[in-house]
Amino acid sequence: MPRRDIPDPYFTSHIGAVAEDAPGGRRYRAAAERIADAIRKAPFIPGDLLPPERELAERLGVSRSTVREAVAVLETLGVVAVRSNHGIEVTAAARSTGLPWRDGAAATPRQQFEALRFAEAALVGTFEGASEPPKAPLALDLAGMQDAVDFEMADYDQRRVGFHCSLAARSPNPVLGRWVRELWMAQEGPEWRRLNGRLSAPEDRRQEIRLLRQLLEGLGSKGVAERRAESYFGFLEGKWFPDRSSEALITGFS
């Protein structure tokens, strides 16, 4: 079936501008919500093309850079696919894929962490035996995290999520990859901001990067990445949940 460019009125009748009071650091998520909601309401079919970036920015009332961030999030989740020299394409999973910062709201941070610990350990195992694990692009993501520490950038937590989403997106198991991406992107709200504040010291962030670098070096080797993932999540647990007795535990993932 040939791809269609949806006439603008079909799309814009279902999309609204991002609220003026949307937090600046989260405007891209608000934009992603508007786009995802419009895809569900408008008569899109897989392969259809969204309006170009410029038109989306005008309709949403945000900058083009915010639209690019929003589209990148939706592409990570599998809602859209960006085709070079072609456009932003709606995927077959667009209507059934939820937005993790909405759908994960019912779970506690502890529950999300336990699920993530289990899922990512399984995910790194999917690279076992791969002839060329994707170490080079992931090393660039780690370099970005290091830059955030060295230059005292405010987006370190976002870069952490970006690293793990990049790892998940490259997994040979797309189902497991999507689950891990959604769990990382569900780290939203005041409780997660409080927990991330416990991992804000430069020395702690440098240790986190060292552990992730070790995990990356072990990617593809039998059993090595899984053990290093457990070491990494043990480190996160010690920072985020130092008093296990005060948190509700989900034993099914222990």
- Per-residue pLDDT tens over the stretch 73-86: 888 778 999 988 88
Angle at 146 between CA 117 and CA 152, to 5 degrees: 110
The domains of the chain are located at: 8-90, 104-253
pLDDT band at residue 244, thresholds of 50, 70 and 90?
low
| Region class of 3: left (phi > 0), else alpha (psi between -120 and 50), else beta | beta
Torsion sign across C-alpha atoms 159, 25, 190, 184: negative
In one letter, which amino acid is 239?
Answer: K
pLDDT of residue 253: 39
Over 70: is that where the pLDDT of 251 sits?
Answer: no
For 87, the enclosing helix (H) or strand (E) is: strand 87-90
Same fold, 8-90 and 104-253: no
pTM for the structure as a whole: 0.67
CATH number of 104-253: 1.20.120
* pLDDT > 70: percent of the chain: 83
pLDDT bin (cut points 50, 70, 90) of residue 190 is: confident
Rounded to an integer, the average pLDDT of 9-19 is 58
Cα→Cα distances 39→25, 76, 86, 238, 253, Å: 24, 16, 18, 41, 35
What pLDDT band is residue 133 in, cutting at 50, 70 and 90?
Answer: very high
Q: Which amino acid is at 216?
A: L
Q: What angle do CA 119, 120, 122 make, to 5 degrees?
A: 70
pLDDT at 99: 78
At position 35, the amino acid (one-letter code) is I
CATH 1.10.10.10 fits 8-90, yes or no: yes
